[in-house]
């Protein structure tokens, strides 16, 4: 569970996870030693760390990875997966929008022999019209832009097998889109629909700025179409410029009409300049990502792991 400033919901999440663990122990023959609940504190600035630290020090099966700062949701999920130990790894946010009880449904399907079971949002409670609309557009545009079969309306609520977790741990790109990476890994995958609940408390950790960055990371990580689009725009601009020059040439040679001077020139300059800036921007985005990858910095640094007897995976 990646956690960032969720002190208002930690207690409720803990109680609901205890109920889930009780069912896993009773109905699936597991023991507490077979189950680990791993929190990843992503640089919280409220009382989240203290609450999680208390839970993990006083309750078996609970562990906490405290990152050195806020690295973002996708990196926090990565840290959890890389340090997990189970043969089945469930990823879920701690804000209670994804119901912890649905883990049982995912695990039941996972037990049929699947490597990935993803929860797909049939309905999203408590979301604004703007967020619902932009999310719907984003997933459908992304599906058309990429060659990887990324599920529409699926988030990071899923169960994966150990071999999928190992595959994800080998992928070290800095700008991560975990749901796309899971699809890329392959193996036997399926999905189950569920109703996403409204937040238990607090406010969304994905404002418009982060949503736009997330969408950009997703597209540039799994599609080269923006680069191709820049080439297409360049050809279109050149073709339009050539056709327009023919019009000007014909008007100059075969008619007595005077050709407007500055207006035509400015229009052409603005049009071509705009196309060039768009193309340079797209190329720049990819170059910036290549620069980040070339630095080969670690994805994250861990401040501490609690309880201290637990070792990194």
Same domain? For 80 and 51 the reply is: yes
Domain shared by 10 and 102, yes or no = yes
Q: Quick one: 179 and 138 in the same domain? A: yes
Distance CA 127, CA 53 (A): 31
From first to last of the 313 residues of the chain, give the pLDDT tens digit: 999 988 888 889 999 999 999 999 988 888 888 899 999 999 899 999 999 998 888 888 899 999 999 888 889 999 999 999 889 999 999 888 889 999 999 999 999 999 999 998 877 665 666 666 766 676 676 666 666 677 777 788 999 999 999 988 888 877 788 888 888 888 899 989 888 876 555 565 555 566 666 666 666 666 666 666 666 666 676 667 667 666 666 666 666 665 566 556 766 776 676 677 677 767 766 776 676 666 666 777 787 888 876 555 5
186, part of any domain: yes
Q: Are residues 96 and 243 in the same domain?
A: no
Same domain (yes/no): 255, 125: no
Helix (H) or strand (E) holding 67: strand 62-67
Q: Which domain holds residue 280?
A: 225-295
Say if residue 187 is in the same domain as residue 260. Answer: no
Handedness of CA 89, 92, 94, 100 (dihedral sign): negative
Same-domain pairing of 44 and 181: yes
What's the pTM value of the predicted model, to 2 decimals? Answer: 0.67
The gap from C-alpha 131 to its chain's centroid, in whole angstroms, comes to 15
Per the rule left: phi > 0, alpha: psi between -120 and 50, beta: everything else, 41 is beta
Same domain assignment for residues 67 and 8 = yes
Complete DSSP assignment for 118-156:
EEEEEEETT--HHHHHHHHHHHHHHHHH-SS-PPTTEEE
Q: Which long-range contacts (CB under 8 A, 24 or more apart) does 71-74 make?
A: 71/42, 71/43, 71/299, 71/300, 72/42, 73/2, 73/4, 73/42, 73/156, 73/205, 73/206, 74/156, 74/176, 74/177, 74/178, 74/214, 74/217
Torsion angle, alpha carbons of 298, 301, 307, 312, to 10: 10
Residues 230 and 195 in one domain: no
User: Is residue 61 located within the same domain as residue 115?
Assistant: yes
Count structural domains, the chain: 2
Instruction: Say whether both 67 and 122 belong to one domain.
Output: yes
Cα–Cα distances in Å, from 83 out to 47, 50, 232? Answer: 24, 21, 44
Contacts of 149 (CB under 8 A, 6+ apart): 143, 183
- Does 231 lie in the same domain as 200? no
């Amino acid at each position: 569970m990646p956690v960032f400033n969720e002190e208002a919901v930690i207690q409720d999440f803990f109680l609901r996870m205890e109920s889930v663990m009780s069912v896993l122990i009773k109905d699936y023959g597991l023991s507490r030693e077979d189950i680990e609940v791993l929190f990843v504190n992503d640089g919280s600035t409220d009382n989240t760390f203290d609450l999680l630290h208390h839970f993990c020090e006083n309750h078996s099966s609970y562990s906490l990875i405290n990152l050195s700062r806020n690295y973002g949701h996708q990196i926090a999920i990565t840290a959890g997966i890389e340090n997990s130990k189970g043969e089945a790894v469930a990823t879920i946010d701690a804000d209670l929008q994804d119901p912890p009880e649905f883990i049982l449904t995912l695990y039941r399907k996972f037990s049929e022999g699947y490597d990935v079971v993803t929860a797909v949002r049939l309905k999203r409670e408590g979301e604004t019209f703007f967020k619902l609309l932009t999310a719907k557009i984003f997933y459908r545009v992304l599906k058309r832009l990429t060659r990887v079969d990324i599920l529409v309306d699926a988030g990071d609520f899923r169960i994966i097998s150990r071999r999928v977790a190992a595959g994800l741990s080998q992928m070290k790109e800095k700008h991560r889109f975990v749901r796309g990476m899971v699809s890329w890994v392959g193996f036997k995958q399926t999905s189950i629909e569920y109703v996403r609940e409204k937040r238990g408390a607090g406010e969304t950790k994905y404002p418009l700025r982060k949503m736009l960055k997330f969408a950009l990371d997703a597209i540039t990580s799994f599609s080269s179409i923006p680069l191709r689009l820049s080439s297409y725009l360049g050809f279109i601009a050149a073709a339009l410029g050539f056709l327009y020059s023919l019009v000007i040439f014909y008007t100059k040679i075969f008619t007595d009409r005077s050709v407007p001077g500055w207006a035509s020139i400015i229009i052409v300059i603005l049009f071509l300049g705009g196309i060039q800036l768009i193309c340079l921007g797209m190329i720049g985005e990819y170059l910036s990502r290549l620069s980040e990858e070339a630095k080969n910095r670690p994805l994250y640094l861990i401040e501490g792991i609690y309880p201290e007897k637990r070792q990194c995976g």
